[in-house]
Copies of this chain bind each other. A is one copy, B any other.
């Protein structure tokens, strides 16, 4: 961690621990801005609160100041509610007052899509930077921290807990803070970032990643401004604790909505999937999945196993829980003979099952002890890692007893329990389970999905070697030649592209550029049969479609004929024929480099040949790639089986393939003037990849 990062983390910490807050522009009447004042009062904030409004002497019983400079003591945090056209003046005042951080609530900046809005935002940022203040927003609600009493909305939970939350939407943090107690979602530190003109998602990821009050991080993200910094912060935080990510802008509809909400830039789903995989994030889609996953990570240990025992009375829900278990990659635990024996002795003989899922039968809704004792028997089985319980009694009294008995059993057996709601369960009982650390999911499908995400995180964490990212991510870029090819078409020819790739360590076909028939015999001898000839005029783009690629040439006569056939069909200047060894291999891949507007150079890998466009089976990783990233990238495509020993072909040399992918990332970082690289096909010859055709597009 460099000094700058440390400074930012201290600055953020200062804001969450602000000892005085000024609310500038707080309205006298009951308007939206009033909620900020009500929020601090409701949360019991013990620091100084300074309402600022030139038109009022006091507001809601608090003395009101005409200007910020009129406030007697120091102000750590200023919440600015004035319209955007007055904000610049107010921020100047904040700087003069020595405020540490400013929350800009008002909208009207970048998200309007106007130049004026963006310019104003930039001016405010420049001002803050020059005076050492940090900004949150604009179009954001600021900080909520039950421990220090900061809040931006009344009636949010007052209980501190393990969840750190970063959000581009203020209302989402309100809703979670409001519903929190029902699911025991308790927050350490919450920030609503809005347009994040200054403090950004990655700054907060870095902060919460090392915050001792935070055990799990959630982030609702509309857009990412500095992709590489975000990825680095994500990976670093994920090494310490799970980071649950709900990302907008992965569909066209969502992108447009995000742009008009917080000025966020759209992202591409496959790139985002690569970022999540590289950074160890846990990606979810939808509010329910987001809240469920935060609940699971905050209530359950992160070391749970995958052997699940399901205890259910409703037979259909038992079966559907088993189905969901299989779908999410969990296992139904094999109950021991002793466990099955004990269950058989307990539950009725017919209409039940002493196998897993345990179906205790309809009678259990009358005799609730059948549930309780079955749960105890299963919990005692050493082959069971955790219990998923689906059951309910016929009256509120029975269910209160049931709830406490299950909590007691969990405490005795010290094994994770998970409850599944059955409509009709009293909501307060669900809340009681959550308070006791037993997550209460609305359905078996959602319970299994939540558990599976914990296991997914555990697996990612286990294989991380914790390389020193700073060192590891440095790559040897010095001394590489810049591209210096003539390129009137804005791109390199196949021959030039492959020369360039070869110079960077990527294996390519042996080939010679031939301009006259006289040069052919020497080329033939050098390359050897069978060979391929391709027209090489700069004007030609889709070679296979214009009859200027001839394969499997076996004699000099065939070669001469092919040469003339191609030359006749070529158009434009610089006609030539590329004489190329013919690579034998049925496995055609594609590899390349693209520049993502948010994440910079990214390496692409997928199925090649005619399947490139048809299947779009490709995945991405952000450059630079660790060797581990490259190996995971190969495993991220649906057709990954092609890399194994199929149909008598040897398994692909994955280290050699990783070298190609890592080289493409390094090239992307080193050569700003390359916009895109496509190696297609990258054919597997024997067990090693060879670039058979390549396209390099320059900026």
Residues of B contacting A699 in the complex (Cβ-Cβ under 8 angstroms): none
Residues of B contacting A611 in the complex (Cβ-Cβ under 8 angstroms): 611, 639, 642
Closest B residue to A106 by CB, please name it. B350
Q: Which of A167, A357, A545, A614 has the most CB of B within 10 A?
A: A614
Residues of B contacting A424 in the complex (Cβ-Cβ under 8 angstroms): 175, 178-179
Binary flags per residue of A531-559, CB closer than 8 Å to B gives 1, else 0: 00000000000101100000010000000
Residues of A259-298 contacting chain B, CB below 8 A = 260-262, 285-288
Name the one of B257, B258, B326, B445 contacting A288, with C-beta atoms under 8 angstroms. Answer: B445
Residues of B contacting A288 in the complex (Cβ-Cβ under 8 angstroms): 442-443, 445-446
CA A611 to CA B615, docked complex, whole Å? 12
Please tell me if A134 contacts chain B, counting CB pairs below 8 Å. no
How often does this chain occur in the complex, in copies? 2
CA A423 to CA B251, docked complex, whole Å? 25
Q: Known: A171-B317, A179-B424. Contact between A325 and B106, CB under 8 A?
A: no
Name the one of B261, B323, B542, B610 contacting A353, with C-beta atoms under 8 angstroms. Answer: B261
For the complex formed, measure the closest distance between the CB of A79 and the CB atoms of chain B, giving whole angstroms.
Answer: 14
Q: Known: A254-B323, A610-B586. Contact between A350 and B83, CB under 8 A?
A: yes
Please tell me if A149 contacts chain B, counting CB pairs below 8 Å. no
For the complex formed, measure the closest distance between the CB of A584 and the CB atoms of chain B, giving whole angstroms.
Answer: 12
For the complex formed, measure the closest distance between the CB of A395 and the CB atoms of chain B, giving whole angstroms.
Answer: 11
Q: Known: A445-B286, A647-B545. Contact between A610 and B84, CB under 8 A?
A: no
Closest B residue to A644 by CB, please name it. B614
Name the one of B32, B84, B317, B641 contacting A363, with C-beta atoms under 8 angstroms. Answer: B32
Closest B residue to A176 by CB, please name it. B423
Please tell me if A107 contacts chain B, counting CB pairs below 8 Å. yes
Residues of A316-334 contacting chain B, CB below 8 A = 316-327, 331-332
Please tell me if A172 contacts chain B, counting CB pairs below 8 Å. yes
Please tell me if A248 contacts chain B, counting CB pairs below 8 Å. yes
Q: Contact check, B171 vs A315: say whether CB atoms are below 8 A apart.
A: yes
CA A250 to CA B322, docked complex, whole Å? 10
Name the one of B250, B318, B322, B610 contacting A323, with C-beta atoms under 8 angstroms. Answer: B250
Please tell me if A355 contacts chain B, counting CB pairs below 8 Å. yes
Q: Known: A250-B323, A286-B320, A611-B639. Contact between A314 and B443, CB under 8 A?
A: no
Closest B residue to A354 by CB, please name it. B260
CA A316 to CA B177, docked complex, whole Å? 14
Q: Contact check, A287 vs B443: say whether CB atoms are below 8 A apart.
A: yes
Please tell me if A168 contacts chain B, counting CB pairs below 8 Å. yes
Please tell me if A169 contacts chain B, counting CB pairs below 8 Å. yes
- Not counting A286-B324, A615-B617, a sample of 13 additional A-B residue pairs whose C-beta atoms are within 8 angstroms of each other reads A35-B362, A106-B350, A169-B314, A169-B315, A171-B313, A171-B315, A172-B314, A175-B422, A222-B319, A256-B322, A286-B445, A288-B443, A611-B611
Name A residues whose Cβ lies closer than 8 Å to a Cβ of B.
30-32, 35, 83-84, 106-108, 139, 167-172, 174-175, 178-179, 182, 220, 222, 246, 248-254, 256-258, 260-262, 285-288, 313-327, 331-332, 349-353, 355, 357, 359, 361-363, 365-366, 422-424, 442-446, 542, 544-545, 552, 586-587, 610-611, 613-615, 617, 638-639, 641-642, 646-648
